């Protein structure tokens, strides 16, 4: 699942980071948005910490 960071409120963004720090199996990863020619927008994707499965 990918969500544009610009679509998140500051509170939601902080909550995502808090979840990652709290040991959730999902980590928020920031990556450049592919559809923005200027590279200004950023995507936030949640990826699993479990690399075994």
pLDDT in tens, 37-53: 554 455 556 655 555 54
47 by DSSP, 3-state: which? strand
Locate 44 and state its tokens. Answer: 């936030």
Q: What is the DSSP letter of 30?
A: E
Which positions ≥6 away from 49 have C-beta within 8 Å? 25, 26, 27
Please state the pTM of the whole predicted model.
Answer: 0.28
Residue 1 has pLDDT above 50, yes or no: no
């Amino acid at each position: 699942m990918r969500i544009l960071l610009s679509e998140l409120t500051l509170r939601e963004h902080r909550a995502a980071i808090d979840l990652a720090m709290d040991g959730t199996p999902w980590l928020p990863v920031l990556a450049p948005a592919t559809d923005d020619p200027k590279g200004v927008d950023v995507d936030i994707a949640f990826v699993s910490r479990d690399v075994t499965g």
